[in-house]
């Protein structure tokens, strides 16, 4: 943290005093943050509540059910080369999504280095990994539907398992799909050189915030729905 | 101008060494493997819940702090984003009470007089 501040900005970096003066300064609150980035953060905050309430709803139906909850470890196991691997597809999906977060971080880095082509390529790589994730989720859904899992019943136990599963993973999968689209659009614009003139590549960071959030939500779904 | 800090505690551009991102990437892989192993070895009880929650919080913290650059932002933004979600914990507490009540009702009225 450099001490190159001007008179208009409170001196102590990241402190309570700085926060109160930021909010009370009667000018912009989020100093050094573009409007696009602050709006993305506020959108993500609202999305946090969407997934937060979904997971709370899942907790409520699971806790209040008198019928035993299906064992996720067995329901989501795959038979590979004669042995049942518990949760193996979910584990692979987790690694794919984390890898995509890593390539996204690289894209942001390249963008701020003004290496537009590399940034666009890393973004496309991220989109490809995201599409892989959605593909594996489609495989998982069709496998479960084939086994008779429905939002209102399933052969493994409490009926609420199906409704929670389809609602939570469905909404997350929708977020990933929209993210793939969003990444592709921005990557195309970056590749084309739309931001070359101004040299402002904060759009890559803003897109990255959305993508990392999708990964973040999966961390909670993985822990609460699949491992719990 | 591009690589200078224009404001203390929150420069306009979040440019950080690639090595740091790679280290966090590696850490996330290790933590994911560990949480998968919790299930693989069928750990039970408090150990299972404890480990799942610890690995989850560590992963979430690393993603938000480093990948989403939250640790380099100013308090005005950090508090705006991190404090409101704590209200969800109030909802969780209320719904735990509610769920226990519904469970009790179901045990009494659904199984007793079936």
Taking only the tens place, the pLDDT of each residue in A80-91 is 877 888 888 999
* Residue range B41-89, pLDDT digits in tens: 888 889 999 999 999 999 999 999 999 999 999 999 999 999 999 999 9
Domain spans of chain A?
33-227
Q: Return the H-helix or E-strand segment holding A69.
A: none
- Identify from A38, A76, A98 which residue to disrupt to test chain B contact, counting B C-beta atoms within 10 A and taking the largest count: A98
What architecture (CATH level 2) is domain A33-227? Answer: Up-down Bundle (1.20)
Are A112 and B49 within 8 A, CB to CB?
no
Give the confidence band of A43 by pLDDT, cuts at 50, 70, 90: very high
H-run or E-run covering A57: helix A35-64
Task: Using an 8 Å CB-CB cutoff, list chain A residues near B86.
Answer: none
Rounded Cα distance, A34 and B6, in Å:
13
For chain B, domain boundaries = 1-74, 83-114
- Taking one residue from A and the other from B, the number of pairs with CB-CB distance under 8 angstroms is 190
Higher pLDDT, A21 or A159: A159
A34: closest CA of chain B, how far (Å)? 8
Stated pTM of the model: 0.88
Q: Confirm if B80 and A41 have CB atoms less than 8 A apart.
A: yes
Here the tokens at position A205 are 């960071």
Cα–Cα distance for residue pair B52/B60, rounded to 1 Å: 12
Interchain proximity A5–B7, CB inside 8 Å: yes
Interchain pair A91, B60: CB under 8 A: no
Q: Radius of gyration (Cα) for chain A, nearest Å?
A: 22
B-chain residues near A1 (CB < 8 A): 5, 8-9
| Strand ranges, E, within A75-119 | 78-80, 83-85
């Amino acid at each position: 943290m450099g001490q190159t501040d001007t008179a208009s900005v409170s001196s102590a970096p990241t402190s309570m005093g700085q926060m109160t003066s930021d909010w009370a300064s009667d000018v912009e609150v989020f100093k050094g943050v573009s409007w696009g980035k602050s709006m993305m953060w506020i959108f993500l905050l609202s999305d946090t509540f969407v997934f937060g309430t979904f997971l709370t709803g899942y907790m409520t139906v699971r806790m209040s059910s008198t019928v035993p909850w299906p064992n996720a470890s067995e329901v989501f196991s795959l038979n590979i080369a004669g042995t049942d691997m518990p949760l193996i597809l979910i584990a692979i999906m987790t690694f794919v999504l984390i890898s995509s977060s890593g390539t996204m971080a690289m894209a942001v880095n390249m963008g701020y280095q003004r290496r537009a082509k590399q940034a666009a390529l890393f973004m496309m790589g991220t989109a490809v990994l995201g599409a892989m994730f959605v593909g594996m989720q489609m495989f998982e859904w069709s496998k479960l539907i084939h086994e008779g899992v429905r939002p209102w019943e399933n052969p493994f136990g409490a009926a609420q398992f199906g409704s929670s599963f389809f609602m939570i993973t469905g909404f997350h999968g929708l977020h990933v799909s929209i993210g793939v689209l969003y990444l592709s659009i921005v990557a195309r614009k970056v590749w084309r050189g739309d931001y070359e003139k101004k040299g402002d590549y904060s759009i890559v960071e803003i897109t990255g915030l959305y993508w990392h959030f999708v990964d973040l939500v999966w961390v909670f779904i993985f822990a609460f729905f699949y491992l719990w | 101008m591009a690589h200078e800090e224009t404001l203390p505690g929150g420069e306009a551009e979040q440019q950080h060494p690639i090595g740091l991102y790679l280290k966090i990437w590696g850490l996330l892989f290790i933590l994911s493997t560990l949480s998968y192993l919790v299930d693989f070895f069928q750990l039970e009880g408090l150990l299972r819940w404890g480990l799942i929650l610890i690995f989850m919080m560590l992963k979430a913290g690393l993603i938000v702090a480093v990948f989403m650059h939250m640790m380099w932002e100013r308090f005005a933004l950090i508090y705006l984003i991190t404090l409101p979600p704590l209200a969800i914990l109030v909802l969780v507490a209320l719904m735990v009470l509610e769920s226990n009540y519904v469970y009790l009702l179901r045990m009494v009225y659904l199984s007793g007089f079936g």
